[in-house]
């Protein structure tokens, strides 16, 4: 019995040593290749792994490490990225790094007047291109795949009908033999006079002049035709007369996006109104849906119910359908003229409810739809959590003469909340930011005022979306990110209140 762990320990140690050896081997290779980022990552990872497996104090983290690793990579890193973007000007027109923008601008071409084209023929063996022969009206060249231009007289050419049959002994390639090889020459700019030659089509090279030249010393761009000088300003090249060139580039702007939010009433004008509805929306949705889910879980946990397996399966149907279609079906129900609800109400009672047109009813409709969408989740979770409640507790309560309602409030509910309350907080956070549902059902409508971008049912996230993507010039991802960060801080603040309770719950559970 004692030997087994010993063997296990040795095996573990051996494996770790082997892995470490491999890591060292890799690191050497990475260093050789100059892939320093990989070197750092691999070495850091290995060190962390060793610490985890060798240190006693890190023992609990052995259980946490795998999950935390994925969390860090796929949740925390994107979070950091969002925060970073919120400090930049990342938006339509400013998506690329500066060097990319400069590259695109300096590669802008002018076709000289008159245009010059060089039809070509190719030479080599199938699968390998030796050279091209460019015919430029008395100015012919031999062009090698590496971009070298050479005068025809330096080469052995056998002509027939004005076109070489072979070059340096290599025969002419045609059609499907030639095109895939020629395609590899795309993107190559062969310096020629004051511009360059490049593959224009599969049969011709063309001569092009640059529209702009970049002066790295002055960090300016000069228009070759007009001589206009563009200097960088706010992420774009701008001429003295105010003309700005597309594309611009990404640069950090410090707190500018946040400042804009607090300064410009367009951004924060409706914030409080939206926030209050947002909280109400999340709280009411979660409360109703949990109440319904829990009630159904209790109902269906009853062993006496014959068909409960079937019942349960049918009840999770809303969860199994894509919200994308079911929400739109609900939207059709709510339609004022032809919706199922109003047609029924009208034929029975002669009334029509302005489901999505009136502020109150639009909010009501949203919550109703969300309860339908989410109660199966609550039911599942409650069903699972119910299984953890020891039966003896009920017996004890029964002996004490507690009725079923008292048993529920004093035994079931408190115990259930231990495991379920974090999920409720999670649901709250999810609902708080449930952009998709709002977007599909009401788009934030009904409209309250023109151009404030916040309708009566907009939540902070949909409001932020409208602010960021109905901006002055296409999409302002940087502003969207800043708003996302602000919303995150708000959600934390609101949820903070609930955390105090989870601590209390944990104390309760420890007593068990």
Taking the complex as a whole, the smallest distance from the CB of residue 156 to another protein amounts, in Å, to 28
Burial of 152 (0-12, 13-18, 19+ CB in 10 A): middle
Handedness of CA 67, 73, 78, 81 (dihedral sign): positive
Taking the complex as a whole, the smallest distance from the CB of residue 439 to another protein amounts, in Å, to 12
With CB under 8 A as the contact rule, the residue among 238, 383, 402, 440 that binds another protein is 383
Q: Can you state the angle between helices 271-300 and 460-469, rounded to 10 degrees? A: 130
> Among residues 400 and 506, whose Cβ is nearest to another protein?
506
Site for another protein, residues 178 to 197, rule: CB under 8 A: 179-180, 183-184, 186-187
Site for another protein, residues 245 to 264, rule: CB under 8 A: 246-247
**According to DSSP H, which parts of 55-194 are helical?**
59-71, 77-86, 98-106, 175-183
Q: Does 198 bind another protein (CB under 8 A)?
A: yes
With CB under 8 A as the contact rule, the residue among 43, 53, 266, 279 that binds another protein is 266
**CA gap 129, 173 in Å, rounded:** 8
Taking the complex as a whole, the smallest distance from the CB of residue 275 to another protein amounts, in Å, to 14
The number of residues that bind another protein (CB under 8 A) is 163
Q: Does 287 bind another protein (CB under 8 A)?
A: no
> Among residues 22 and 47, whose Cβ is nearest to another protein?
22
Here the contacts of 259-266 (C-beta below 8 Å, separation 24 or greater) are 260/479, 261/479, 261/482, 261/483, 261/486, 266/452, 266/453, 266/467
Residue 389 backbone phi and psi in degrees, to 5: -85, 115
Site for another protein, residues 30 to 89, rule: CB under 8 A: 33, 38, 57, 59-61, 63-64, 66-68, 70-71, 73-82, 85
Site for another protein, residues 114 to 173, rule: CB under 8 A: none
Output the six-digit token pair for 413. 């509910």
Handedness of CA 244, 249, 255, 261 (dihedral sign): positive
325 preceded by cis ω (within 30°)?
A: no
> Among residues 116 and 198, whose Cβ is nearest to another protein?
198
The C-alpha torsion from 183 through 187 and 189 to 195, rounded to 10°, is 120
Output the six-digit token pair for 302. 């009853």
> Among residues 53 and 157, whose Cβ is nearest to another protein?
53
Taking the complex as a whole, the smallest distance from the CB of residue 157 to another protein amounts, in Å, to 25
- Counting every residue written for the chain, the total comes to 512
Site for another protein, residues 298 to 357, rule: CB under 8 A: 298-305, 307-309, 311-326, 328-333, 335-338, 356-357
Burial of 476 (0-12, 13-18, 19+ CB in 10 A): buried
Q: Does 419 bind another protein (CB under 8 A)?
A: yes
Q: Are 199 and 112 in contact (CB under 8 A)?
A: no
> Among residues 43 and 157, whose Cβ is nearest to another protein?
43
Q: Does 3 bind another protein (CB under 8 A)?
A: no
> Among residues 139 and 506, whose Cβ is nearest to another protein?
506
Site for another protein, residues 451 to 470, rule: CB under 8 A: 451-453, 461, 464-466, 469-470
Handedness of CA 250, 254, 255, 256 (dihedral sign): negative
Output the six-digit token pair for 485. 């960060």
Say which residues have a Cβ less than 8 Å from residue 172's Cβ, sequence separation at least 6.
121, 122, 123, 163, 164, 165, 166
With CB under 8 A as the contact rule, the residue among 384, 400, 413, 501 that binds another protein is 384
Taking the complex as a whole, the smallest distance from the CB of residue 511 to another protein amounts, in Å, to 10
Q: Does 101 bind another protein (CB under 8 A)?
A: yes
> Among residues 4 and 217, whose Cβ is nearest to another protein?
4
Q: Does 240 bind another protein (CB under 8 A)?
A: no
Site for another protein, residues 389 to 418, rule: CB under 8 A: 389-394, 412, 415, 418
Residue 185's SS3 state is coil
Residue 164 backbone phi and psi in degrees, to 5: -65, 140
Paired residues of 210 in beta bridges? 109
Q: Does 362 bind another protein (CB under 8 A)?
A: no
Taking the complex as a whole, the smallest distance from the CB of residue 108 to another protein amounts, in Å, to 8
Q: Does 6 bind another protein (CB under 8 A)?
A: no
> Among residues 130 and 375, whose Cβ is nearest to another protein?
375
> Among residues 285 and 412, whose Cβ is nearest to another protein?
412
With CB under 8 A as the contact rule, the residue among 381, 437, 438, 441 that binds another protein is 381
């Amino acid at each position: 019995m004692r030997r087994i762990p010993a063997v296990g320990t040795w095996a573990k140690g051996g494996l770790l040593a082997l892995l470490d050896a491999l890591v060292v081997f890799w690191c050497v290779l990475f260093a050789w290749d100059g892939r320093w980022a990989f070197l750092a990552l691999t070495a850091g990872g290995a060190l962390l792994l060793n610490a985890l497996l060798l240190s006693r104090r890190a023992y609990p983290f052995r259980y946490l490490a795998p999950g935390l690793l994925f969390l860090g990579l796929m949740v925390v890193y994107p979070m950091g990225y969002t925060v970073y973007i919120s400090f930049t000007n990342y938006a339509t027109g400013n998506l690329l790094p500066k060097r990319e923008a400069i590259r695109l601008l300096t590669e802008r071409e002018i076709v000289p007047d008159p245009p010059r084209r060089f039809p070509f023929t190719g030479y080599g063996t199938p699968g390998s291109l030796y050279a091209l022969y460019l015919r430029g009206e008395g100015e012919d060249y031999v062009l090698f795949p590496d971009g070298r231009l050479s005068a025809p007289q330096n080469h052995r050419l056998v002509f027939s009908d004005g076109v070489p049959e072979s070059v340096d002994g290599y025969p002419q390639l045609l059609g499907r033999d030639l095109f895939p090889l020629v395609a590899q020459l795309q993107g190559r700019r062969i310096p020629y006079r004051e511009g360059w030659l490049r593959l224009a089509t599969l049969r011709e090279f063309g001569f092009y002049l640059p529209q702009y030249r970049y002066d790295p010393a002055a960090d300016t761009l000069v228009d070759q035709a007009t001589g206009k000088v563009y200097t960088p300003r706010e992420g774009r090249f701008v001429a003295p007369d105010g003309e700005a060139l597309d594309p611009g580039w990404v640069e950090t702007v410090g707190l500018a996006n946040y400042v804009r939010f607090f300064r410009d009433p367009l951004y924060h004008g409706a914030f409080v109104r939206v926030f209050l509805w947002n909280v109400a929306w999340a709280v009411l949705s979660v409360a109703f849906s949990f109440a319904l889910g829990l009630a159904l879980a209790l109902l269906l946990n009853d062993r006496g119910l014959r068909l409960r397996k079937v019942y349960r399966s049918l009840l999770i149907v809303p969860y199994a359908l894509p919200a994308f279609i079911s929400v739109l079906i609900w939207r059709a129900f709510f339609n004022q003229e032809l919706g199922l609800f109003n047609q029924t109400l009208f034929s029975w009672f002669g009334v029509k409810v302005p489901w999505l047109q009136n502020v109150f009813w639009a909010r009501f409709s949203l919550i109703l739809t969300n309860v339908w969408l989410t109660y199966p989740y609550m039911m599942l979770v409650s069903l699972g959590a119910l299984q953890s409640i020891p039966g003896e507790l009920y017996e004890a309560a029964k002996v004490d003469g507690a009725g079923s309602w008292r048993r529920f409030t004093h035994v079931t509910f408190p115990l259930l909340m231990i495991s379920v309350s974090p999920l409720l907080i999670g649901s709250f956070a999810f609902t708080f930011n449930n952009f998709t549902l709002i977007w599909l059902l009401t788009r934030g409508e009904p409209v309250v005022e023109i151009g404030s971008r916040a309708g009566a049912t907009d939540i902070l996230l949909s409001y932020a979306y409208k602010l960021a993507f109905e901006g002055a010039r296409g999409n302002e991802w940087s502003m969207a990110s800043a708003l996302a960060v602000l919303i995150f801080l708000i959600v934390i603040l609101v949820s903070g209140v609930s955390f105090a309770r989870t601590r209390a719950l944990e104390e309760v559970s420890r007593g068990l």
